Amino acid sequence: MTRVWTSAADWLAHRRALEGRPIGFVPTMGALHCGHAALIEHCRRENEIVVVSIFVNPTQFNDPNDLHRYPRTLERDMELLQKLGVDDVLVPPVSDLYPCGYRFRVEPTGAALMESAWRPGFLTGVLTVVLKLLGLVRPARAYFGEKDYQQLHAVSDMVQEFFIPTEIVACPTVRAYSGLAESSRNALLSPTDRDRAALLHQALITGPSPAETQAALEADGFNVDYVEEHWGRRFAAASIGGVRLIDNVAIPENPCS
């Protein structure tokens, strides 16, 4: 039976009863899809207790319209979580996670790149809310998808930097048959744009260079924010039909090199 917690105080009272039992945690913003299901199934294989959070974090949105448009499908999400046998679901209000507003936050330093450059405050919002959620759940392991690789990389660094006793587990990106990375934002795509969106992954794996990859995407009708290479991977953010998508792959080998 899946338990739902809408109060941080009630959850913390229950959390004390779980002391000593291995807990795995999957933080989400809802609008769940098969990529989330894969994270949860991985979590279930390695932990006695599976906890999932659903929280659309306002501090990681620099565009109020983007926050407003973000899909919210709580009833359907709960049906999926029940089927997956999740033990506990946290659905906290903003006032519980930010009782002092946005007074305290985690500020990463260093050069702003990719999402940090294009979405000011994004990474600060992500790290701040993840730190809060890890403090609430205190899991042995937390599971993140490689689609949001920059976020995964930053969270891993934060956990190490602050000596947080949670193992960050990276899980491969789940893709549709077309190659399109599963994402909550895919729900905003029209059927035609969903077909075209698959060209993002295709360009990433076939482009000889970031510049040529960007040119190919623009020729296919994408509005490209960036194509960059870091940490042995090629990243892109691009919009189609007004929906912004991100993806990344291991840097393709150049057969001519």
**How far is 231 from 108, CA to CA, in rounded Å?**
17
Give the phi and the psi of residue 178 in degrees, each rounded to 5. Answer: -70, -15
What is the pLDDT at residue 257? 46
**161: three-class secondary structure by DSSP:** helix
Q: Where does the chain hold its CATH 3.30.1300.10 domain(s)?
A: 184-247
DSSP helix/strand/coil, 90: strand
Alpha-carbon span 77 to 226, nearest angstrom: 32
Instruction: Transcribe 196-221 into DSSP letters.
Output: HHTHHHHHHHH-SSHHHHHHHHHHTT
Fold of the 184-247 domain? Pantoate--beta-alanine Ligase; Chain: A,domain 2 (3.30.1300)
pLDDT for 153 equals 97
**pTM for the model:** 0.95
- The verdict on whether 36 is a catalytic residue reads yes
Q: Fold for domain 3-171?
A: Rossmann fold (3.40.50)
DSSP label at 53? E
Reference 203, options 220, 225, 183; nearest CA is 220
Q: Are 152 and 142 in contact (CB under 8 A)?
A: no
Task: Considering the candidates 14, 33, 36, 201, report the single residue annotated as catalytic.
Answer: 36
pLDDT of residue 252: 83
pLDDT in tens, the chain (257 residues): 899 999 999 999 999 999 999 999 999 999 999 999 999 999 999 999 999 999 999 999 999 999 999 999 999 999 999 999 999 999 999 999 999 999 999 999 887 899 999 999 999 999 999 999 999 999 999 999 999 999 999 999 999 999 999 999 999 999 999 999 999 999 999 999 999 999 999 999 999 999 999 999 999 999 999 999 999 999 999 999 999 999 999 998 764 44
* Sequence-ordered strand ranges (E) for the chain: 3-5, 23-28, 49-54, 88-90, 99-102, 141-145, 167-171, 223-230, 233-240, 243-250
Q: For the chain, where do the domains classified as CATH 3.40.50.620 start and end? A: 3-171
